[in-house]
Amino acid sequence: MFFAFAGYARIATLGEEVRDPRSTIPRAVVLSLGIVLAVYLVLAVIALRTLGVDGLAESTAPLSDVVRAAGHGGWVAVVALGASAACLGALLGLIAGVGRTALAMARHGDLPSALAVVHPQRSVPQRAEITLGIVLVVLVIMTDLRAAVGVSSFCVLVYYAIANASALRQSGEFRRYPRFVAWTGLVGCVVLAITLPISAVIVGGALLAAALAGRWAILHGTDAPEERDEIRGSDHREP
């Protein structure tokens, strides 16, 4: 269920591509989450009423089975086409959001600096997004996506937990919600992360440990302080 909602926060990474991000992005996050929740609830009720609990539990293509059970088998191809379009839409959102994350990491030396390039007219990180698209194609072809979902959920929960912990330190005009909201999110992320399949926790933890070790090696592998400052990134960069 968590993975089904993962992604709406990608909106928060697009601050450089929208007008008035301080008001636009929070409104977009709340609206998108609310709309998706309503759609999920409607579909869940329809599927349960049509297939029943046991039938839905055994189904590998529930929406197609709902259409068949309702006596409209000819529409199964349309449902499959709609599902494919929805997956592509989610993929585009993923590429846009993670591309921005890769851009920020490249600016701070956590990824190759060649990815820290923004298109002069469209203001999108084209190199990061193209690279991400290639990586995703390779992953789809070469990995078990069910295992990837578990590992992805663990890593996302970890950085969501960090985001909630960071929100606890907000103050003044930057605080939008009471502290208990961030505490609830932090505890919820930690609980969900440790209750994932043990294989996902081990692989996800190993990936994060390797990334942290690599970052430590990069930051401490330079001799001159100015080189370390350059790797960490600077807030005084060209817009």
pLDDT digits (tens, 9 = 90+) for 124-154: 888 999 998 898 888 888 887 777 888 888 9
pLDDT greater at residue 199 or residue 2: 199
- Per-residue pLDDT at 98 exceeds 80: yes
Q: What is the pLDDT of residue 231?
A: 47
Tokens 């329809």 found at: 46
The region, left, alpha or beta by phi > 0 then psi within -120 to 50, assigned to residue 59 is: beta
- Per-residue pLDDT at 47 exceeds 50: yes
pLDDT digits (tens, 9 = 90+) for 164-196: 999 998 887 778 788 899 999 999 999 999 999
Whether residue 204 contacts residue 151, with contact meaning beta carbons closer than 8 Å, is answered with: yes
Whether residue 51 contacts residue 66, with contact meaning beta carbons closer than 8 Å, is answered with: yes
- Per-residue pLDDT at 235 exceeds 50: no
Q: What is the pLDDT of residue 229?
A: 52
Q: What is the pLDDT of residue 152?
A: 85
In this prediction, residues 211-220 reach a mean pLDDT of: 82
d(CA 224, CA 231): 11
- 123: confidence class by pLDDT, cuts 50, 70, 90: confident
d(CA 16, CA 173): 20
Nearest CA-CA partner of 29 in 186, 194, 160: 160
Average pLDDT of every residue of the chain: 84
In this prediction, residues 28-46 reach a mean pLDDT of: 90
Radius of gyration of the chain (CA): 21
- 51: confidence class by pLDDT, cuts 50, 70, 90: very high
- Per-residue pLDDT at 230 exceeds 60: no
d(CA 111, CA 121): 24
